[in-house]
Amino acid sequence: MVFAPAPQLTVTVERPGRGGSDEIHLHAGGQGVWQARMIASLGAQVVFCTALGGEAGRVLANLIEVEGIETRVVETQSRSGAYVHDRRGGQRQEVAVMPGESLGRHEQDELYGLTLTEGLRSRVSVLSGMAETQVLPPDVYRRLAGDLRRNGGTVVADLSGAYLDAVLEGGLTLAKVSHEELVRDGRASTERTVDLIAAMRRLRDRGATAVVATRAEKPALALLPDPEDAIVEVRMPELEPADHHGAGDSMTAGIATVLAQGGDLPAAVRLGAAAGALNVTRHGLGTGRADAVERLVERVSLRAYDGEPMPPMDGHATPDELAHRMQLGGPQ
């Protein structure tokens, strides 16, 4: 289940080649949409819980349905957001933004009940962020994370700021953050690895069983529960990016997919890294063929932060096996 209360209608203006005419594309956008799209691409069943309203909301409902993503929608009087960007010059240039509107109390209650019901039926719940934080208060996320965890749910959150604080209070299986978010929110004093690791451990102490921190072009860092307090670097293949947007969301989607299929955290992190790496080679956000991602997994490695290489994960290693391999040190 992907909880995405505020998707956005995206309008993109492109010119494919010199002398060609402009093309205008309509897409469903926002973190939760990109995550659900990648989860579906990886072959897992996904239910998308959201609230839609106004003209943008009506268009979004059709666009999401066309992608084959199963949706649970609360129709609202509040308007969904939209933005227009120009990519004719090769880079995204924002042209116009229409913010989404805050959900009313009854709309919030209806969305909460719908999402909780679907989350309790799902093996994994992904709590995604919003570009427009006025839509829904952080406390809704806190309650949702707590209710799902108390009832045995696996909860993955890709959030920052007050929303991350809220779900930590409720409890998380895994928190995915970026190094920019850790510094911006004052959780890490600098971008130095030692400061990022200290921030990750504080997130663990506050309620996250595992933490993954992306670092742009540098290897991501993962704090895994077994062996205790293990910090590993996630080494990914070097690929020329076409568009770096959405890589972190694809990583979150890959992690959630493996956990939903019964895989362990190391295997989930590796596949998530492969999904994120493939996404940057494409212009579509949250896209990538499952077979291509599976091939890239072979080129993703987890290495102990102290510099000792971790053995390749076969995708089925248990936490005890991981601990044993790390104690041995070096490739197996």
Task: Name residue, tokens 């929608």.
Answer: 73
φ, ψ of residue 260 to 5 degrees: the values are -65, -25
Domains, the chain: 2-328 (3.40.1190.20)
Cβ atoms 46, 156 nearer than 8 A: no
Task: Name residue, tokens 């860092």.
Answer: 221
Q: What pLDDT shows up at residue 181?
A: 96
Lowest mean pLDDT among 84-93, 117-126, 140-149, 234-243: 234-243
Query: Can you tell me the distance from the alpha carbon of 233 to that of 161, in angstroms, rounded to the nearest whole number?
Result: 24
Q: What pLDDT shows up at residue 247?
A: 72
Torsion angle, alpha carbons of 315, 227, 193, 299, to 10: -20
More confident residue, 318 or 8: 8
Determine the average pLDDT of the residues in 113-135: 95
DSSP 309: B
> Tens digit of pLDDT for each residue in 216-231?
878 899 999 876 778 9
Query: Can you tell me the distance from the alpha carbon of 60 to that of 28, in angstroms, rounded to the nearest whole number?
Result: 6
Residues β-bridged to residue 48:
2, 71
Q: What pLDDT shows up at residue 315?
A: 40
Measured from the Cβ of residue 195, the count of other Cβ atoms closer than 10 Å reads: 16
More confident residue, 312 or 75: 75
More confident residue, 6 or 132: 6
15: confidence class by pLDDT, cuts 50, 70, 90? confident
More confident residue, 223 or 215: 223
301: confidence class by pLDDT, cuts 50, 70, 90? confident
Q: What pLDDT shows up at residue 278?
A: 72
More confident residue, 120 or 297: 120
Q: Is the pLDDT of residue 134 over 80?
A: yes
Residues β-bridged to residue 89:
none
67-76: string of b/e by CB count within 10 Å (b at 16+)?
A: bebebebbeb
Q: Is the pLDDT of residue 91 over 60?
A: yes
Q: Is the pLDDT of residue 150 over 50?
A: yes
